[in-house]
Chain A
Amino acid sequence: MDVLRNNNWLLTVGTFLPVLGVIVMVFIPKGKELLIKQVALLTATATLVIGAVTLALFKYGSAGKLQFVVDTSWIPVIHSNYTIGLDGVSLPLYILSMVVTVLVMIYSWDHIPAPGNPKAFLSLMLILQVGMAGTFIAQDLILFFVFFELVLLPMYFMIGVWGGEQRQYASLKFFLYTMFGSALMLVAFLALFWQVQKTNPDASFSIPYLIDHAGDLSRSTQIWIFAGMFIGFAVKVPMFPFHTWLPDAHTQAPTQGSVILAAILLKLGTYGFIRIAIPILPKAAVAWAPYIGALAVIGIIYGALGCLAQTDMKRLIAFSSVAHMGFVMLGIATLTPLGVNAAVFGMVAHGLITGMLFFVAGSVKDRYHTLEIKRLGGMLKQMPKLGWILGFCAMASLGLPGLAGFWGEFPAIVSAYSPFGGNSGLPGVSKEVFRVFMVIAAVGTVLAAGYLLWLFQRVAFGEPKDEFADHASDGHGAVHAVGAAVNETEIHGAGHGDIHDVKLTEWIAWSPFLIAIVVLGVYPNLLFKVIDPASQTILKAFGKG
C-alpha cells in the first residue's frame, strides 16, 4: 500500500501532547484550581491547533491513502510496530475527538461536577483524549489495542467518581463489558496474526500488511476470527444484545463524560469495524453482513421503543444512541462505499448531535436538579434559548433534512437497497434480506421522530411545573450567586439554585457544535468528499467502486 510520509511528526505530537499537560498538572498544587483549568484548556487547545495544522496539510486529493505515516520499530519481539497514519475515514473522527475535548474543557470551566477535584477530572480527560486520538491513528493491531484500552480506566473513574447516584454500579458494568469485549478482540488479533504467519514468516500486526495478506485465509477461519473482533467492537458500539451497559453508563456519567462517551467513545467500535474487521477479513465480512444488519435494525427498533418507555431525559438520549448506532452499523453491513460513507458521516453527526443533547441534558440537570421528564415542562417559557437549542438538537437527531443527522441516516437506508454495490456475485447473501432491513430502518426513523418530538413537547412546551415556576431568575443568562440557597443536593453546577438561560461558557462550548450541525447538514459534501476515497480503498477487496 502506497502511503504519504511527509510531515509525519504531526500525528505523534497531536496524540501525545495532552500527556505533557498532564505532567505539568501533576506539579500544580490541588488548590490552584484556576491554574489547573488554564493549563488543561491550554493543552487541549494546543492539541486542537496541531489538529488544525493536520487538517490544513492533509492532501485531500489522496484522501484514500494513509498520510503522515510513521512506521518505526516498537516491539520487534512480537512483530508489532509503531505504525500510525491518517486517511479520509479517520481524519474526521480524529479531529472531532480534539474538538470535543476542547469544548468539554470549556464547559468544565464552571461545571466541575461533585465532588470537585478539577485536577484529577481534567487530567483524566486529557488522558482520555490520548486514547481516543491514538485509536484513530493506529495502523497496528497491538498499538490499536493499547489505545483502545487506554480510554477504559479514565472513563471508569470519570463515571465512578463524578457520576450520579448509581455511579459505582454503572462504572463497573461499563468496565467489565468493555474489558470482556476487548479480551476477545485481542485473542482474535493474535489468532489472525498466527494464521497469517503460517504462510508469511515475516508477518506483522500492521493493518495495511494484514489487509494485503489476510484475505487469503479460508472462509471459516476468517469467520471465527471475525467473531472475536465482532464482540470486541460490538460491545463498544454498542450493538443490540451488548448494549445494556450504555444506558447505565450514560445516565450515571457526569455531563462531560456522557458527551465524550457519545461523541467519541462509541465510535471506537464502529471505526474498528471499518478500519480492521471488514478490510482485513472480507470473506467473513460478507458472511457476517446479514447478521450485523439484522442486529443493527433490531437495535434501531429496540432503541426507539426503549426511548418511548423512558421517564428520564438522559436515559432517553442514551437509548437514542443505540438506535442511531444501529443506522451506522446498517450502513457498514451493506459493505458499499455509500453505506460506509453514510456510517462515517453518521458517526460524526451522531457525535455532534447526541453530544449536544447530553450537554443540554446536563444543563437542565444543573438548573432543575432532576431529569425526570414528567417533572419538567415549559422550558420555552422559562429558558427560551435552552429550550430552542433542545428543539434544534431533537430535530437534528431525528434526521431532519438540512441538518447533519439526515446525511447519516438517509444514505444508510438507501445503501441497504442494493448491498454489496448491487453486485449479486457475492455469495451467501440475498439482497431481499437487506431490503427488509431497509424498510424496518425506515420505520425506525418515524419512531425516532416520535420519541424526540414527544420528549421536546413534554419538556419544552406548556407551562413550567409548579415546583419550579417561581425559581426563574429575573434576567436571561444572568448569574446570581445565592449562596445560602445551596444545599447538599444542589452542589452540582456553579452553586446557584436559580433557573437561568444559557450561560457564556455554555454558549462558547456549544456554538461550534450547533454551527457544525448546520454546516454539515447544508453542505454534506464537505465531509463526504474526504470520506469517500478512503471508503473506496477500504472496500477494494469487494471488487468495485
Chain B
Amino acid sequence: MLSTVLHFSGLAATGDFVRPRIDYHAMAPEMILAAGICVVLLVDLFVEESKRWLTATIAGLFLIGSLIPIVTLALIGDDTRSMFDGRYVVDQFSLIMKAMFLIIGYVVVLLSTNEIEEGGYHQGEYYVLLLASVLGMVMMTSSRDLVSVFVAFEFLSIPTYMLAAWRKRDSKSNEAGVKYFLLGVFASAIMLYGMSLLYGVSQSTKLTDISAYLSAHSTTGVVALSIVFIVVGFAFKVSAVPFHSWAPDTYQGAPTPVTAFLSVASKAGGFVALVSMVYLTFPSAKDVWQPFIFVLAALTMTIGNVLALKQTNIVRMLAYSSISQGGFILMPFVVAGTKAAETSLKTIVVYLLVYASTNLGVFAVVIAVARRTRSGEISSYGGMLTWAPGLTALMTFFLASLAGIPPFGGWFAKLNAFRAVLEAGTGFGYAIAIIGAVNTVVAFGYYGNLMREMWMKPSVDGDNSPVRTPPSLLAALGITGIATLVLGILPQLVLRFGDLNDLVHTGALGK
C-alpha cells in the first residue's frame, strides 16, 4: 500500500507526470453523489430540528439525480470509457451495477424516512453516511486497480459500521456495530495483505497487468496465498460461511432499514469486488480459487439454509436466508474460469438485480409490519391475511421469488445460475448444481413457514386492526414489487442492459 503511494509520488517527482484526462460525463454520478453528501451535511447544519426530514428528501433527490448521467451514458452507446490509465473504467457492467446501487440507495432512503424520523435519530448524519456508502459502491463498480478497489471497499464499509450501531441507546445495536466493525477491519487487513503480496509479485496494482502477469507465470505459493487472502476478505463482506458469524447478530441489532441496506447493497458491493478480482485479476489461477469458492458456495447455501430453518425471529431468519442466497450468487463464480465464464458473469448480474429488488421488498414488508406489531417474532405474522391482505400478498410474492417459484424474479435468477454451472460441464459445476438444487427445496421450508404463518395461522392476540403504511414505505413496496414481478415475467427487459460485452471482451475474459 505504502509502496504504491510512493510509486505514484515518485512518478510525479520525475516530472513526466501528465495530468490525466478526466471524462466528466463518466464521472458525473460520483460527482453528483459527492455533492449530495456536502449538501445534506450543510442542510443538516442550518435547518432547524423540525425540518430535518428535508435531509431524507435531498438524499433521495441526489440519488435519483446521479442516475441521470448513467442513463445518458447508457443511451450514448457502448463505448467503454477508460480513465487514469485504465484503472477506472466505466463500461456496461459498471453502469448497470451503478444504477442498481443508486436505486437500492433510493429505496433504502424510502425505508428509512419514517423509522429514522420517528426514532429521533440523527437524521442528517444518517443520510450522509448512507450516501457515502453508496458512493463507495458506485466507485467499486468502476475500480480496476487494487488501490481503488481497496479504497472503494473501505468507503462502502466504514459508514455501514456506524449505521449498524445507529440506535445508540440499544445495547443490541451497539453490539451489532462493534461486531461488524471488528470483523470487518479484520477482513480488510487480511485482504490488504493478500493484495500487497499480489503487488509484490506482479509489480503492478492495475488489475489487467496483474492478470497478464499471472497468466504468463505459473502459480506460486505466494500467489496462491494472496488469492486466498483476497477471497477471504470479500467472503467476510458477502457473509459467506464460515465467515458469516457477524451477519445474524449485526442484522438483528441494526435498525431494520440499515439491515436491508447491509443485506442487499453491502453484500452486492462485496460481490462486485469479487467479480473484478475473479474475472479480471486472477482468472488464470483458477486452480487456486475454483475449489476454494466451490467450498465456500456449497457451505454458504447449505449452512445458511439449515440455520434459517430453526429461526423464530424474522430478521435472523432473513439474515440466514440472505447468507444462503449469497451462496447461490457464489455458485456461478465456480465456473468463472471455464467456457461458461461469460454466462456466469451475466448470471451474477441478473441474480444481484433480482436479489436486490426481492430482498429490499421483504424488508419493506418487515418494517411495515413491525410498525404495527412492534415485534420481530415470526409468530407475530399470524393472521396477517386478515389485518394486512395487501402486505400479505406482496410478502408472498417476495418470498416466492426468494424460493424460486415462478413467475417472480427469483425463478429466473436461479434457473440462470443452474444453466451457467451446468453449461460449464465441469465436475465442480455439476456438483454445485446438485447441492444448489437440494438447497432450493430446503429453502422452501422457512419461506413456506412464514407464508403459512401469514395465511393460515390466526392472529396472535385476536387483534385484527388494520396496519397503516406510510407513503414512503408504500413507494418502496411499489418499486420492489413491480421490479420483482417484471424481472420474473419479462426478464429480457432487464437482461438487455446486462449484455456486458465490454467486460467480457475487453477484460481478461476476452483473452
Complex interface: chain A residues within 8 A of B415 (CB): 78, 142, 186
Q: A488 CB to closest chain B CB, in angstroms?
A: 14
Q: How far, in whole Å, are A368 and B423 apart by their CA atoms in the complex?
A: 58
Report which of A73, A117, A149 forms a contact with B385, defined as CB distance below 8 A: A117
A168 — which chain B residues lie within 8 A by C-beta? 452, 456
Given the known interface contacts A146-B407, A172-B452, the answer about A183 and B437 at a Cβ–Cβ threshold of 8 Å is: yes
Q: Is the CB of B389 within 8 A of A179?
A: no
**A120:B412 contact, CB within 8 angstroms:** no
Taking a contact as CB atoms closer than 8 A, the residue among B390, B444, B452, B492 that contacts A179 in the complex is B444
**A180 / chain B contacts, CB cutoff of 8 Å:** 441
Q: A153-B405, A190-B419 are in contact. Are A74 and B492 (CB under 8 A)?
A: yes
- The residue that A194 contacts in the complex, of B389, B423, B448, B451, with Cβ under 8 A, is B423
A180 vs chain B, min Cβ distance (A): 6
If the complex has contacts A78-B416, A78-B419, are A149 and B406 also in contact, measured as CB distance less than 8 A?
yes
Specify which chain A residues have a CB less than 8 angstroms from the CB of B490 in the assembled complex: 74
The number of chain B residues touching the other chain, given as a range, is: 20 to 34
Report if A30 contacts B (CB, 8 A). Answer: yes
Choice from B400, B441, B495 contacting A183 with Cβ under 8 Å? B441
> From A197, which residue of chain B is reached at the shortest CB distance?
B423
User: Is A39 on the interface with B (CB-CB < 8 A)?
Assistant: no
Any B CB within 8 A of the CB of A469: no
Known: A175-B444, A175-B448, A179-B444. A150 touches B407 (CB 8 A): yes
B450-475 vs A, CB cutoff 8 Å, 1 = contact: the mask equals: 01100110000000000000000000
Report the separation of the CA atoms of residues A26 and B393 in the bound assembly, to the nearest whole angstrom: 10
Tell whether A167 is near chain B: CB-to-CB under 8 Å. Answer: yes
Judged by a CB distance under 8 angstroms, whether A119 is at the interface is yes
Q: Does B333 contact A (CB under 8 A)?
A: no
- Is A194 a contact of B405 with CB atoms below 8 Å? no
Say yes or no: is A290 at the interface (Cβ < 8 Å to chain B).
no
Task: Tell me, in angstroms, the Cα distance from A176 to B491 when the chains sit together.
Answer: 26
Query: Residue B346 at the A interface, CB < 8 A?
Result: yes
Q: Is B369 an interface position by the 8 A CB rule?
A: no
- Given A145-B406, A150-B406, A152-B405, residue A75 in contact with residue B412 (CB < 8 A): yes
Nearest residue in B to A187 (C-beta to C-beta)? B437
Q: Tell me whether A76 is interfacial, beta carbon within 8 Å.
A: yes
Closest chain B CB from A24 CB (angstroms): 15
Task: Answer whether residue A157 sits at the interface, using C-beta atoms and an 8 A cutoff.
Answer: yes
Enumerate chain B residues within 8 angstroms of A186, measured Cβ to Cβ: 415
B332: min CB distance to chain A, Å:
14
The answer on a CB contact under 8 Å between A117 and B386 is yes
B441 near A179: Cβ-Cβ < 8 Å: yes
Interface residues of A in 151-195 (CB under 8 A from B): 152-153, 156-157, 160-161, 167-168, 171-172, 175-176, 179-180, 183, 186-187, 190, 194
A26, A117, A156, most chain B CB atoms within 10 A: A156
Cα distance A77–B452 in the bound complex, in angstroms: 35
**Distance between Cα atoms of A473 and B346 in the complex (Å):** 69
Bound Cα distance from A73 to B448, whole angstroms: 33
A168–B456 Cα gap in the complex (Å)? 7
| B389:A30 contact, CB within 8 angstroms | yes
Instruction: Report the nearest A residue to B438, measured CB to CB.
Output: A183
Q: Is the CB of B385 within 8 A of A76?
A: no
Query: Is B411 part of the contact surface with A, judged by Cβ < 8 Å?
Result: yes
Picked from A119, A160, A179, A187, the residue with its CB within 8 Å of the CB of B456 is A160
Smallest CB–CB gap between B240 and chain A, Å? 24
Residue of A75, A161, A167 near B495 (CB, 8 A) is A75
Is the Cβ of B411 less than 8 Å from the Cβ of A157? no
Q: With the chains together, A145 CA to B415 CA distance in Å?
A: 11
Q: A120 near B385 (CB under 8 angstroms)?
A: yes
Q: Output the nearest chain A residue to B440 by Cβ-Cβ distance.
A: A183
How near does chain B come to A16, taking the closest CB pair, in angstroms? 11
Are B405 and A149 in touch, CB under 8 angstroms? Answer: yes
Cα(A420)–Cα(B407), bound, Å = 39
Which residues of B are in contact with A by a Cβ distance under 8 Å?
Answer: 346, 385-386, 389-390, 396, 400, 405-407, 411-412, 415-416, 418-419, 422-423, 437, 440-441, 444, 448, 451-452, 455-456, 490-492, 495
The 5 closest A-B pairs by CB, nearest first: A146-B406, A149-B406, A160-B456, A75-B492, A161-B455
Besides the known contacts A75-B495, A78-B416, A171-B452, 14 further A-B residue pairs in the complex with CB atoms under 8 A apart: A76-B492, A77-B492, A117-B385, A119-B389, A120-B385, A149-B411, A153-B400, A153-B405, A157-B455, A160-B456, A161-B455, A168-B456, A175-B448, A194-B423
9 contacts between A and B (CB under 8 A): A74-B492, A77-B495, A146-B407, A150-B407, A168-B452, A172-B448, A176-B441, A183-B437, A190-B418
